[in-house]
Structure 1
Amino acid sequence: MLHEESITQGTAELDPDAAAVLLAPRLAQFAAVARLEHVTRAAQALGMPQPTLSRAVARLEEELGVALFARQGRTVRLTRAGRLLLGSVERALTELERGAQAAREEADPAGGRVAFGFLHTMGTDAVPALLRGFRADRPRVRFQLVQDYVGAMLERLWAGELDLCLVSPMPTDPELAARQIDEQVLHLAVPADHRLAGRCRIRLAEVAEEPFVALEHGYGLRAITDGFCAEAGFSPRIAFEGEEAETLRGLVVAGLGVALLPPGPVPRPGVVELAVTAPRTRRAIGLAWVAGRPLTPPAAAFRDFVLSRRGRLLAHD
């Protein structure tokens, strides 16, 4: 029952987190009684039996160790302590509803949000084309776009900060789902005045003694470059390391080294891109997500759209 007098605290002092767990289910019930000032009407509004609501409010008073309501005939009135609590409860419930609404909007199939990560080299043509194609049917879906190297993207994927990411090389973690979408040719970029610049094709072993410019360790393209050089029988002599493919292309133009790079967005004066005949310098581009973790409807729809573009993600030579 509801009490007029202060109630002796029935429980020991609680850790704040433990108190929140105990009190949270009863706060909306308390607020309903406080707004309507009538237990029976509040129970009807909440769709629960009146005795159940009365017991819930009584337990809340017992746990707090203070009376929240005073009876006045068939109605109830907040005590001073009840008024203090109601202000905080209403703010909390408003914030909770705001969070719930944001969560619903995030998962809205027609207008939710997709957190999508991709390699820097995919940002010029491939990703804009994907987004344009997808939004032709779902124009209200929003995207959070993240460009980063593979290791950082996979960490953010695991942390739940990303729904999906385009990666290369393909991840080997068995707890990640990954599907190859396309394959990208890597060319050997050399300065326009390089001794091999007049050639159309070369074997990678022909530049074994040349200085290379490459991405830093941790980038997928760096691991791929090291791997292809190992196939050709040598370890590349890295003269400069960078964080972005177009920066490497600029270093090549400056004559500071050669590099294995994907095709540039537009031809760049001062650099010649040679086809490599041995080994077969191609990298797999794949889409990855966390296996067993449900995707929101918009993220699942975008995943299916990207998978449907298999073999058509990139412009091929």
Structure 2
Amino acid sequence: MLRRAALRSPRQLCTTRRVRLTRAGELVLARARRALDELDGAKADLARLAGELRGRVRIGSIQATGPFRLAAALAEFHRRYPEVELSLRSGRLRQLLDDLDADQIDLAIGPLADTLADRVRAQPLFTDELVLLTIPDNPLAGREELALGAVRDEPFACLPAESGLRRLLDRACASAGFSPRVCYETNILPQLRELVSYGLGVALVARSVAEAPGRSVSVHRVLPTPIDRPVGLLRPKDRPLGPAAQRCHTFLTAWATRPTEPP
């Protein structure tokens, strides 16, 4: 990068010889000085814009957002807009929708469903596949794909009955001709993986949860049809977003299209 000190006229330099720029040199020097002035002006404009975006953005999110890299997204937004106060809370979809209605959060990240249209505006972000977990010494563990009917007699670990994941499990098992025997309930998604790793049962979880670090488990795609769960960015339908929340909405929407980077 050019430095201003390097653009001083040669007449200002200590020398015993008289040096003069050619006409061409003077033109180049003038253009370089103008370029640096423009760069300084652009930096000042960006600094002012960053300083003007203030306020707070309250975000609610489901636990399983692995493909989206939510923490990395929030860190990058904070780097760009340091004057905006961010907050994040975790919850199930029903709670997130209630929080949006009560103006306790500005944006929510949660599963998309047809029934959401009456309450919120939704912007798709990513799709997370639901997979079946078994313990590695299970006789079925060697199969890459597994029908739910194959584990109908196994105890299941799942989120509580009012959760979206539990409803998905119940519907999928009903399609396979049985009702799952849920023996282990928890509000903490990673704990489902841990329960399976100790041989206490099987579980249906998002692939991002299944492939998280921890004790060994076997991961199976669900037959006959993979279960995909689309997740989106939700905003109030009848309440406008403030400037900071609108900027965050735009940023998170764009973030979803970025190529996945290695951890």
TM-score normalised to structure 1 length: 0.60
What one-letter code is carried by the residue in structure 1 that aligns with 2:215?
A: P
Three-state SS of the structure 1 residue aligned to 2:87 is strand
1:183-221 alpha-carbon deviations (Å, 9 max, x no partner): 001111111211111122222222222221110022222
Matches within 5 A, 1:42-61: none
Q: Which residue of structure 1 lines up, in the alignment, with residue 175 of structure 2?
A: 231
Distance in 2, matches of 1:183 and 1:158, equals 25
Q: Which residue of structure 2 lines up, in the alignment, with residue 144 of structure 1?
A: 87
Q: Which residue of structure 1 lines up, in the alignment, with residue 36 of structure 2?
A: none
Distance in 2, matches of 1:274 and 1:280, equals 10
Once the two structures are TM-superposed, the CA of residue 124 in structure 1 deviates from its matched residue by 9.8
Three-state SS of the structure 1 residue aligned to 2:222 is strand
What one-letter code is carried by the residue in structure 2 that aligns with 1:201?
A: E
Q: Which runs of 5+ in 1 are unaligned?
A: 1-107
Matches within 5 A, 1:212-231: 212-231=156-175
Distance in 1, matches of 2:157 and 2:217, equals 13
Residues 115 and 161 in structure 1, CA contact (< 8 A), matched pair in contact too: yes
User: What's the C-alpha RMSD, in Å, of the aligned pairs?
Assistant: 2.5
Q: Which residue of structure 1 lines up, in the alignment, with residue 135 of structure 2?
A: 191
Is residue 234 of structure 2 the alignment partner of residue 291 of structure 1? no
Distance in 1, matches of 2:77 and 2:170, equals 35
Q: Greater relative contact order: 1 or 2 (C-alpha under 8 angstroms, separation 6 or more)?
A: 2
Indicate the larger mover: 287-296 or 196-205. Answer: 196-205
Distance in 2, matches of 1:166 and 1:109, equals 26
Residues 232 and 279 in structure 1, CA contact (< 8 A), matched pair in contact too: no
Q: Which residue of structure 1 lines up, in the alignment, with residue 252 of structure 2?
A: 306
Once the two structures are TM-superposed, the CA of residue 236 in structure 1 deviates from its matched residue by 1.3
In structure 2, the CA distance between the partners of 1:257 and 1:315, relative to structure 1 (3 Å rule), is farther
Distance in 2, matches of 1:253 and 1:302, equals 38
Matches within 5 A, 1:1-317: 110-122=53-65, 126-170=69-113, 172-173=115-116, 174-262=118-206, 263-264=208-209, 266-310=212-256
Residues 216 and 243 in structure 1, CA contact (< 8 A), matched pair in contact too: yes
Indicate the larger mover: 262-271 or 301-310. Answer: 262-271
1:35-80 alpha-carbon deviations (Å, 9 max, x no partner): xxxxxxxxxxxxxxxxxxxxxxxxxxxxxxxxxxxxxxxxxxxxxx
Q: Percent identity?
A: 32
In structure 2, the CA distance between the partners of 1:223 and 1:169, relative to structure 1 (3 Å rule), is farther
Residues 67 and 126 in structure 2, CA contact (< 8 A), matched pair in contact too: no
Distance in 2, matches of 1:122 and 1:214, equals 17
In structure 2, the CA distance between the partners of 1:150 and 1:269, relative to structure 1 (3 Å rule), is same
Three-state SS of the structure 2 residue aligned to 1:172 is helix
1:150-172 alpha-carbon deviations (Å, 9 max, x no partner): 11111111000000000124362
Distance in 2, matches of 1:113 and 1:201, equals 45
Query: Larger Cα Rg: Structure 1 or Structure 2?
Result: 1
Residues 68 and 125 in structure 2, CA contact (< 8 A), matched pair in contact too: no
Residues 194 and 215 in structure 2, CA contact (< 8 A), matched pair in contact too: no
Three-state SS of the structure 2 residue aligned to 1:186 is strand
Q: Alignment length, in residue pairs?
A: 209
